[in-house]
Amino acid sequence: MLEQDELNLYIRKAKEGDENAKAVIFENNTPLLKSIIKNFRNKGIEYDDLYQIASMGLLKAINNFDESYNVKFSTYTVPMVIGEIKRYMRDNGAIKVSRTLKMLAGKINRYTAEYQAKNNASPTIEEMAKHFGCEEDDILMALDSARMPVSLFEKADDEDSGLQLIDKLSAGDKEEELIEKIEISRILGDLSERERKIVILRYFRDQTQSEIAKDLGVSQVQVSRLENKILEKIRLKF
């Protein structure tokens, strides 16, 4: 396996059109692609097709990777590849599960509306999974199948902590859940340098608002306001 610094060099060369560098990156990441593909076996798509789709995701990761994110290439690649596979499955109606997920998404909508009416807050992913007797991954997949990314910005708890569901997608979670984070990285180019730094610290390095405030030399309240403005930009992009 290549070290990140060495991998960055190959990525830069690949972006410049060096096919040999691209081949090295693909070879280095083949085990990662196979690991991701395992999660989508028996879904009605041939293995070779899955590998081709995953390879397209890897190619997109190479072309879009930015060293300034200060994250490992594999961390960036996983959600990009998973996203590519999910889009293919969604667009081609490849699996019966998609219908089940859409039904679950409808139930989630109704449950969320009832929960909000009673509690004046949105249920967490954990609460929804417990209510429906399924895994948290199933809830996330259902929300994704219904194209409900706005759910990322709902409050994650009943306290006035400012935490949102996307905050729950930490580096310690399963890699599939990182797909939500990559959607944020795609719009980093439209943010100011300060806004971009807040996004990276908040969602890629999992720092709290207080930690970010200390790093930027501002108050936690200012960071909270800036984050709200950034999230509004992200909502518009979604």
Question: What is each CA distance from 189 to 90, 180, 237, in whole angstroms?
Answer: 27, 17, 12
Which parts of the chain are beta strand (E)? none
Quickly count: other Cβ atoms within 10 Å of residue 170's Cβ.
Answer: 12
Domains of the chain, with CATH numbers?
4-92 (1.20.120.1810), 96-166 (1.10.10.10), 187-238 (1.10.10.10)
What are the pLDDT digits (tens) for 119-167?
888 888 888 889 999 887 778 777 765 543 333 334 444 444 454 433 4
pLDDT score of 52: 93
Burial class of residue 231 (count of CB atoms within 10 Å of its CB; 0-12, 13-18, 19+): middle
pLDDT score of 54: 93
pTM for the full predicted model: 0.44
* Chain-centroid distance, C-alpha 46: 25
Note whether 50 and 34 are within 8 A (CB): no
Note whether 156 and 124 are within 8 A (CB): yes
Q: Which amino acid is at 42?
A: N
